[in-house]
Structure 1
Amino acid sequence: MALSRGRFCCVLLSLFTGLASGLVITSTGSTSIEMASGQTVKLDCQFTLAAEDSGPLDIEWSLTTSDNQEKVVIIYSGDRPYEDYYAPLKGRVHFNSADPKNGDASINVIGLKPSDSGPYNCKVKKAPGIGSRKMTLTVMVKPSKPRCYTDGPTQEGKDVALKCVSSEGTNPMKYSWEKTSDSKLLPSSATLDPVGGTLIVKNASASASGSYHCTASNRIGSDDCTLYLNVTPPPNTAGIIAGSIIAVLLFLIILAIILYCCCRARHKKKYEKEICNEIREDVPPPKSRVSTARSFTVGSQRSSLGSMSPSNLHEYALKPQYDKIPSSEEYERPPSQLPLPPPSAVRMGGPNLSRMGGIAVMTPAQNRDGSIV
């Protein structure tokens, strides 16, 4: 009995609703749509009119943006469309039907962008009927081509990290790795991070070398890249250390040789400078005997000539020993080798020289080597 009453109330409510408004939205598709960037989407909004819906037809599409503001996208009023209400969608949104009065208020959005995502609301009004339909559009970006590379050393015994990164793509994104050479099986010590895209091969061996394939994907697409891994033997650490030690020793030896040569050259230069400034005691004084002897002899002769009378001057001129000044070689001869005066030479003593008007001159004594005593 209670069930019958409930059904009766529903029927009456339906009748009153139909009398109040005959316009009905008939679209039954999904209200959540996911599309890839760059594609075209159709937002469906079909409706039917009742006989009593006699007013003018008005259609309005609006978008609730990320800051919770409702923006009018496109309208149909006065039997004509108006499509340039929302600048970000200008030129990219159109009614699906050339004449929406036929019951098709659907719109098409072309060249989708991530900023086009959000809830859309379709309102159809033909007085007294009113109807609406909401749906959510999510514009997703397909993963861009990922980049595959190794991070860190690729030596045996080390943990080798293989990276796979896609710069663009709507989350959630998933990464997967597979080996495409040899056994086509990942190393048993390999661990994969499907969100970060990192494959770590712990304690890598030479058998881990080969080609690897990475795929980045989300709900609307995927892309991939390939990497060749070459696991190399560890370097000869002992050889490197020995070579480094030898190089250091050679450098020190060369440096020591250079310093030794510089010090030796500097010491030699200093020694030569001291020798030049030192007075040698064993070196005899410069020879001045010739000039002394010559000056003495010339002076003696001038004195003798000045004391002679004209009568004796002729006799003096005939004496050969007074004709010239002795040379340095003759002067330096020992007494035993000196030439004897000619026998005809007349020795003039002090008394005779006085009578002749001359002046006696004392001749300095000389030693054997010619030095004046």
Structure 2
Amino acid sequence: MALLLRVVLLCGVADLIRSLSITPPDQMMIEKAKGETAYLPCKFTIGPDDQGPLDIEWLLSPADNQQVDQVIILYSGDKIYDNYHEALKGRVHFTSNDLKAGDASINVTNLQLSDIGTYQCKVKKAPGVANKKVLLTVLVKPSGTRCFVDGSEEIGNDFKLKCEPREGSLPLRYEWQKLSDSQKMPTPWLAEMTSPVITVRNATSEYSGIYTCTVQNRVGSDQCRLNLDVVPPSNRAGTIAGAIIGILFALVIIGFIVFCCRKKRREEKYEKEVHHDIREDVPPPKSRTSTARSYIGSNHSSLGSMSPSNMEGYSKTQYNQVPSEDFERAPQSPTLPPAKVAAPNLSRMGAVPVMIPAQSKDGSIV
């Protein structure tokens, strides 16, 4: 009975060996740096009963579980199809030129962070079917690392030494070293030699020197250098006094400019007001009519003060001097006419009657 069972088990193992199978890869998880090439193995063997056509298919299960599996490359009917996945187009290739020889491994070139995921190799040759999975992790090696001092590098001050890479996949490891003098880190810093930040308290000139910081992860490393120079304290009082004097001088200049501008505006405003007042207060020129009126008024006032002896001469002279043109052109004045002196009053005053001959229109005596 035991012999029969052993024979059955051996036959089962022989059938399994004869069927299609994929050799397990040495690593189930592969880590590569961004930009590098990842080799994903998939070697298989075919049994004597596997007589169907050979089909090889690689699928990608993205790290985001919400996305469906994507075919990235396919071998079927002795042809290769690699245009299924746009993100990997032109970057995925079979490593073997003869896939029927049992090597379906692929290379993924110029790795990107979007390439992270689980890759599955499926081999079909009816009736045999087999598949294997490989996890690919893409890491970013540290780069662009810079070292700098955060604070004032003066004796007695507190400041920090910082080491910061521009990019790099976690976890990152840091290591500080001193290159100058005794190449020994100050004792208070020993606890922070593997930290991205070293805190310096009550700095002394002994801390001066050249330091390096090395950043590394599983796929690469980067380094930066720092020249620390701890100097005596600067003259802060003089600096503050100079700053205050500079500010006061600037305020004086600004005040002088504002004063000049305001003064100029007041002068311009005054000139405009004076010019406006002069234009409004200038009296209009005297007309010929007002001249004639004043002339007539003066004659009337003179007539009352004349004596009878020179009345006749005055009447003739004044009559001849008054321009008839002015009287003709003078408009009618709304003022009251001058008062007339009655004849009896003229006689009392000693006036002598004078006969003035009449004249016709053409100027002849009637």
Query: What TM-score, normalized to structure 2?
Result: 0.61
Would you say the 8 A contact 1:164–1:198 is kept in 2? yes
* Counterpart position of 2:136: 137
Identity %: 48
* Counterpart position of 1:121: 120
1:70 aligns with 2:69: yes
Cα distance change on mapping 1:233 and 1:47 into 2, 3 Å: same
- For 2:192, the aligned partner's letter is L
Partner SS state of residue 189, structure 1: helix
* Counterpart position of 1:48: 45
Quick one: distance in 1 between partners of 2:160 and 2:243?
33
Quick one: distance in 1 between partners of 2:82 and 2:110?
16
* Counterpart position of 2:31: 34
1:147 aligns with 2:149: no
Quick one: distance in 2 between partners of 1:240 and 1:82?
74
Quick one: distance in 2 between partners of 1:245 and 1:154?
21
Quick one: distance in 1 between partners of 2:200 and 2:193?
12
1:235 aligns with 2:237: no
* Counterpart position of 2:301: none
* Counterpart position of 1:214: 213
Query: What TM-score, normalized to structure 1?
Result: 0.60
How far residue 155 of structure 1 moved from its aligned partner, in angstroms, is 1.4
Would you say the 8 A contact 1:114–1:139 is kept in 2? yes
How far residue 235 of structure 1 moved from its aligned partner, in angstroms, is 3.1
Per-residue CA deviation, residues 41-74 of structure 1 (Å, 9 max, x unaligned), is: 2111101001100111111111111222211111
Partner SS state of residue 42, structure 1: strand
Partner SS state of residue 63, structure 2: coil
* Counterpart position of 2:181: 182
Would you say the 8 A contact 2:95–2:107 is kept in 1? yes
* Counterpart position of 1:90: 89
Quick one: distance in 2 between partners of 1:145 and 1:139?
19
Quick one: distance in 2 between partners of 1:233 and 1:43?
60
Partner SS state of residue 112, structure 1: coil
Structure 1: stretches of 5+ with no match in the other structure: 259-373
How far residue 27 of structure 1 moved from its aligned partner, in angstroms, is 3.9
Cα distance change on mapping 1:70 and 1:236 into 2, 3 Å: same
Structure 2: stretches of 5+ with no match in the other structure: 257-366
Cα distance change on mapping 1:153 and 1:102 into 2, 3 Å: same
Count residues with an aligned counterpart: 248
Alignment of 1:239-278 (within 5 A): 243=241
> Which has the larger displacement, 109-118 or 17-26?
17-26
Would you say the 8 A contact 2:41–2:106 is kept in 1? yes
Cα distance change on mapping 1:119 and 1:151 into 2, 3 Å: same
Cα distance change on mapping 1:119 and 1:11 into 2, 3 Å: farther
- For 1:24, the aligned partner's letter is S
Alignment of 1:94-105 (within 5 A): 94-105=93-104
How far residue 208 of structure 1 moved from its aligned partner, in angstroms, is 0.4
Quick one: distance in 2 between partners of 1:239 and 1:17?
95
* Counterpart position of 2:200: 201
Would you say the 8 A contact 2:17–2:47 is kept in 1? no
* Counterpart position of 1:192: 192
Would you say the 8 A contact 1:27–1:47 is kept in 2? no
Partner SS state of residue 161, structure 1: strand
Would you say the 8 A contact 1:21–1:128 is kept in 2? no
Quick one: distance in 2 between partners of 1:138 and 1:58?
27
How far residue 150 of structure 1 moved from its aligned partner, in angstroms, is 0.7
